[in-house]
Amino acid sequence: MQDCDPAQAAELIRALRDHLREMTGRLGRVDGREVPGTNGDATRLEAAALRRDIAEAQMHIDRLYRRYPNGDERPSQQRPAGGHPRAANVAFRWTSSGV
């Protein structure tokens, strides 16, 4: 492992967390819409795609944490602030300073 690897992992985790927060907020807005008919199908497909993307981002974050453990920084399994209740099933709120 090179010296720059942990720093790059921390930066990638930070970027993934930011993207995860954006997707979780967007999922809350999409899930909050009640659209009848054909547009409702598109909304459900968008929500399903967001859930898959959120789960994938979470998986990458978890793998990075396992590969590059960083002291006492541990994710907590709490509902994201301002997040949607369904989003809490696939997204986590990260509580650590600096990363």
Q: Is residue 95 part of a domain?
A: no
Q: Alpha-carbon distance 17 to 19, whole Å?
A: 5
Q: Is residue 19 part of a domain?
A: yes
Domain count, the chain: 1
Q: Is residue 50 part of a domain?
A: yes
- Give residue 70's pLDDT: 66
Q: Is residue 84 part of a domain?
A: yes
**From its phi and psi, is residue 37 left (phi > 0), alpha (psi between -120 and 50) or beta?**
left
Q: Is residue 66 part of a domain?
A: yes
Identify the domain containing residue 79 by its residue range: 4-89
Mean pLDDT across 49-60:
97
pLDDT tens digits for 7-49?
899 999 999 999 999 999 999 999 888 777 767 788 889 999 9
Q: Is residue 96 part of a domain?
A: no
CB neighbours (10 Å) of residue 40?
12
pLDDT tens digits for 65-97?
999 886 435 454 444 444 444 444 444 443 343
**Sequence-separated (6 or more) residues with CB below 8 Å from residue 77:** 92
User: Which one has a higher pLDDT value, 20 or 2?
Assistant: 20
